[in-house]
């Protein structure tokens, strides 16, 4: 009969031995839709950035002036490497500045 090992002899589990390694796994390659942010409509509220489960909304240090001369110090974009196309950002955007479009169109 096989001898069972005690818990002190078992290899520890549930340990991240290489913190930050999730960046090596590009999780966005199976999406069919991708968000496109309308910089004119966006009010820079940051809700999309907050709700994205994959940290795929990125805040860029890039100024933008709207056609109505409203000036913003930042712009928002999508990191395609990690966006899974779930659409939560578009769903939650209070001014509907995000449109989900087919990946091949974006
Ligand atoms: S939720 Fe909408 S308005 Fe707010 S930052 Fe994102 S795109 Fe802009
Ligand atoms: S579609 Fe989903 S994963 Fe992609 S940026 Fe929006 S909330 Fe994040």
Q: Evaluate whether residue 9 is within a structural domain.
A: no
Q: Evaluate whether residue 25 is within a structural domain.
A: no
The pLDDT value given to residue 17: 80
The pLDDT value given to residue 3: 85
Query: Can you give the CATH number for the domain in which 55 is found?
Result: 3.30.70.20
Q: Evaluate whether residue 10 is within a structural domain.
A: no
Q: Evaluate whether residue 90 is within a structural domain.
A: yes
Q: Evaluate whether residue 1 is within a structural domain.
A: no
**Which one is predicted more confidently, 30 or 76?**
76
Q: Evaluate whether residue 13 is within a structural domain.
A: no
Structural domain that includes position 35: 31-102
Look at ligand 2, atom 8, and give the residue with the nearest C-alpha.
52
Q: Is the CB of 78 under 6 A from ligand 1?
A: no
Q: Evaluate whether residue 18 is within a structural domain.
A: no
Give the separation between CA 72 and CA 65, rounded to whole angstroms. 6
Q: How many domains does the chain have?
A: 1
Task: Identify the band that residue 106 occupies on the pLDDT scale cut at 50, 70 and 90.
Answer: low
- For residue 98, give the DSSP letter: E
Across the range 48-77, mean pLDDT stands at: 96
Give the separation between CA 75 and CA 52, rounded to whole angstroms. 16
Q: Any idea which of 8-22, 23-37, 68-82, 91-105 has the lowest mean pLDDT?
A: 8-22
Angle at CA of residue 31, ends 82 and 86, nearest 5°: 80
Task: Identify the band that residue 14 occupies on the pLDDT scale cut at 50, 70 and 90.
Answer: confident
Q: What is the 3-state secondary structure (H, E, C) of 12-78?
A: CCCCCCCCCHHHHCCCCCCCCEEEEECCCCCCCCCHHHHHCCCCCEEEECCCEECCCCCEECCEEEE
> Which residue among 30, 36, 56, 101 is best mutated to probe the pocket of ligand 2, counting the most ligand atoms within 8 A of its Cβ?
56
């Amino acid at each position: 009969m096989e001898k069972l090992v005690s818990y002190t002899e078992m290899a520890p589990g549930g340990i991240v031995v290489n913190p930050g390694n999730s960046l090596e796994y590009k999780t966005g390659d199976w999406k069919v839709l991708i968000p496109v942010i309308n910089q004119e409509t966006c009010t820079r509220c940051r809700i999309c950035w907050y709700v994205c489960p994959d940290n795929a909304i990125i805040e860029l240090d890039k100024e933008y002036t709207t056609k109505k001369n409203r000036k913003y110090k930042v712009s928002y974009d999508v990191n395609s490497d990690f966006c899974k196309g779930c659409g939560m950002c578009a769903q939650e955007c209070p001014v509907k500045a995000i449109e989900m479009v087919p990946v091949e169109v974006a």
